[in-house]
A and B are shown apart, each in its own frame.
Chain A
């Protein structure tokens, strides 16, 4: 089954404790993105990746890091989480082909930073 898998689904942590949210897709998609969703602000893109070892900042990259060492994986790293990073996070993947950038989303990771 084609899917984007995020882990964990729920995470409660404390300020300053490094964490990683993993994302994996099995569709051989070149493009991958991370979004955060906040009430009243909608979805905003954090980082995106065109392919292995190629990443770039989205609209709200501050406080986040990503890496793309393998095509299927695109982890999101919070080196020193802060309460304003409490949010619902989504990983998405897409292909540049005929699908015209239709995004396939993971189920989401709800993060609370205390």
Chain B
């Protein structure tokens, strides 16, 4: 099955700095999604990028996709304490069989 792997596993930065997380996957995709999970809570969809897109923005989020390298990155600009969470990339065929998630990057924003 397709699987995303995030890098790094954990990241700690100062508030106001930018945070970059990377995701690699193994097979061809239709789209790639990023989700956020606050401690012990459900995942929340952040952004979806289609396979024919190279970059997408949503507020302070910027996602890039390089299908030739089978990789994606999530950039959070001007980080805030509330951005402290785990971030997951996910791939899937768009069917009922849902998504395959990576193991996540745990982001800590230091005040």
Question: Which of the segments A12-20, A78-86, A97-105 contacts the partner chain?
Answer: A97-105
A100/B96 contact (C-beta < 8 A), A41-B103, A88-B40, A110-B40 known: no
Whether B41 and A108, one on each chain, are in contact in the complex, defined by CB atoms closer than 8 angstroms, is: yes
Interface stretch among B42-50, B53-61, B69-77? B42-50
Whether A49 sits at the interface, judged by CB under 8 Å, is: yes
Asked whether A42 and B104 contact (CB < 8 A) given A101-B92, A105-B44, the answer is: yes
B85 interfacial by beta-carbon distance below 8 Å: no
- Fill in one digit per residue for B13-46: 1 if any A CB lies within 8 Å of its CB, else 0: 0000000000000000011010100001111110
Does A48 contact B1, Cβ atoms closer than 8 Å? Answer: no
A104 in contact with B45 (CB, 8 Å): yes
Give the number of residues in B that approach A within 8 Å (Cβ atoms): 28
Question: Using a Cβ cutoff of 8 Å, how many contacts connect chains A and B?
Answer: 78
Kindly list chain B residues whose C-beta atoms are within 8 Å of the C-beta of A50. 95-96
Listed A/B pairs (27) with beta-carbon separation below 8 Å? A4-B42, A31-B98, A33-B97, A33-B98, A40-B103, A41-B103, A42-B102, A42-B103, A43-B43, A45-B97, A49-B96, A51-B96, A88-B40, A90-B42, A92-B98, A94-B98, A96-B95, A100-B31, A100-B48, A101-B94, A101-B99, A103-B45, A103-B99, A104-B45, A107-B41, A108-B41, A110-B40
Which residues of A have CB within 8 Å of B96? 30-31, 33, 48-51, 54, 56, 96
B72-94 to A contact mask, C-beta < 8 Å, 1/0: 00000000000000001010111
Is there an interface contact between A101 and B42, defined as CB atoms closer than 8 Å? no
